[in-house]
Amino acid sequence: MRVYELRNETGDLFAFEVDVSWGGRRRVCAVVRRIPEAKLRQAPRFLSWFREETFCRFELDGTEFEICEPFGDNSRYWVGPADATRGHSQIVAILDVFRSA
């Protein structure tokens, strides 16, 4: 799977993007289910691509993360913390699971 790291101005990884051509929304959420100790809070519903930009939410170590498709027709899914103003150490573990999928 092709992933694109997103780093802040100090070079810290804060989120990443996944190429949409790899799989649909349900497949991306299936990868989230493989993350040890992650608790899936929201998965895509019927026709979610039509009405939901943010289609997956999960919790890891008390931090909420989300997966969204900006503008509903992007070529990449964004994966990162719901509070993207600061970095979270769990993002590296999440990225590793997506890379190995």
Q: What is the pLDDT of residues 14-29, one digit of tens each?
A: 999 998 887 788 888 8
Share of the chain above pLDDT 70, in %: 88
Mean pLDDT calculated for residue range 62-73? 86
Q: How many CA atoms lie within 13 A of 78 on its CB side?
A: 18
| Residue percentage of the chain with pLDDT more than 90 | 50
Domain region containing 57: 3-100
Sorted by sequence, the CB contacts under 8 Å of residue 84 that are 6+ apart come out as 14, 15
**Number of structural domains found in the chain:** 1
Closest C-alpha among 85, 91, 86, 49 to residue 68: 49
Provide the H-helix boundaries in the chain: 25-32, 48-51, 90-100
What whole-number distance in Å separates Cα of residue 7 and Cα of residue 11?
5
The residue ranking higher by pLDDT, 86 or 7, is: 7
